[in-house]
């Protein structure tokens, strides 16, 4: 088991909003660090160290770690340690199945009744993401990617489903983060998004569904290669 790995997080000590409860904010910061692989599988999360880093008592840290455990992102060993979990491919496949099913239906619904406002929003977000595709700031690219998909959930009137699926997608999101640096991957994401927008704008529900299914299957189709490249990260 590795020693505590919090040095990267300390370089940008998070500022908590005093108007909000501490535990949800600690959870959000730690979850993002885990999903982005800033805190890699095997990193030990010590309550006392985290409490000092966030400037809070150990109680909100404990609550945040329990919630991360419920999402499968950390393993808690009572009286011993809390460790960032390895990426569970079985969990990733289940989350992927759910997301693909939901987003395909969302895309079909939007394409059945496309609006100029929605198409303009998606194209603007696509342009923003395209500008990031040639760089190496993967965090900004991923944020733009998430916003593209969130826009579709909101437009379909199911924003709560976006939050639900995000909570279930920690393992598959980490797989995607490992896959993103692969040659041509970022540009392929932008290409797929463009095809989705074109199908929605053209009022083609089945084409939109198929484009979403194709887009969301890219990383999972490469799971064995990702596992071979990162055996310490992927179960």
- Is there a contact between 145 and 192 (Cβ–Cβ < 8 Å)? no
What does the pLDDT read at residue 128?
Answer: 93
CATH code reported for the domain at 7-84: 1.10.10.10
Cα 235 from Cα 230, distance rounded (Å): 10
What does the pLDDT read at residue 151?
Answer: 98
What does the pLDDT read at residue 57?
Answer: 94
What does the pLDDT read at residue 2?
Answer: 47
| CATH fold of the domain at 89-229 | 1.20.120
**pLDDT tens, per residue, the chain with 235 residues:** 444 455 544 445 678 888 889 999 999 999 999 999 999 999 999 999 999 999 999 999 999 999 999 999 999 998 778 999 999 999 999 999 999 999 999 999 999 999 999 999 999 999 999 999 988 788 999 999 999 999 999 999 999 999 999 999 999 999 999 999 988 999 999 999 999 999 999 999 999 999 999 999 888 889 999 999 999 999 8
Of 171, 184, 167, the residue nearest 218 (C-alpha): 184
Instruction: For the chain, give the DSSP string.
Output: -PPB--HHHHTTPPPP-TTS-HHHHHHHHHHHHHHTTSS-TT-B--HHHHHHHHTS-HHHHHHHHHHHHHTTSEEEETTTEEEEPPB-HHHHHHHHHHHHHHHHHHHHHHHHS--HHHHHHHHHHHHHHHHHTTSS-HHHHHHHHHHHHHHHHHHTT-HHHHHHHHHH-HHHHHHHHHHTTSTTHHHHHHHHHHHHHHHHHTT-HHHHHHHHHHHHTTTGGGHHHHHHH-TTTB-
The ranges assigned to domains in the chain are 7-84, 89-229
pTM of the predicted protein model: 0.89
């Amino acid at each position: 088991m590795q020693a505590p790995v919090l040095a990267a997080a300390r370089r940008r000590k998070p500022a908590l909003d005093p108007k909000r409860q501490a535990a949800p904010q600690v959870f959000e910061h730690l979850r993002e660090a885990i999903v982005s692989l800033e805190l890699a599988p095997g990193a030990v999360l010590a309550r006392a160290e985290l409490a000092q880093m966030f400037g809070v008592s150990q109680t909100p840290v404990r609550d945040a770690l329990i919630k991360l455990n419920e999402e499968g992102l950390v393993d808690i060993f009572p009286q011993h340690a809390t460790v960032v979990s390895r990426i569970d491919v079985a969990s990733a496949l289940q989350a992927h199945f759910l997301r693909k099913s939901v987003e395909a239906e969302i895309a079909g619904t939007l394409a059945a009744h496309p609006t100029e406002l929605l198409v303009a929003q998606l194209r603007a977000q696509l342009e923003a993401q395209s500008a990031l595709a040639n760089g190496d700031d993967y965090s900004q690219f991923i944020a733009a990617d998430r916003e593209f998909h969130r826009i579709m959930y909101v437009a379909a009137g199911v924003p709560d489903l976006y939050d639900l699926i995000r909570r279930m997608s920690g393992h598959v999101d980490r797989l995607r983060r490992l896959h993103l640096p692969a040659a041509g991957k970022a540009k392929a994401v932008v290409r797929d998004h463009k095809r989705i927008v074109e199908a929605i704008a053209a009022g083609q529900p089945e084409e939109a569904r198929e484009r979403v299914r194709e887009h969301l299957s890219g990383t999972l189709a490469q799971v064995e290669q990702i596992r071979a490249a990162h055996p310490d990260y992927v179960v």
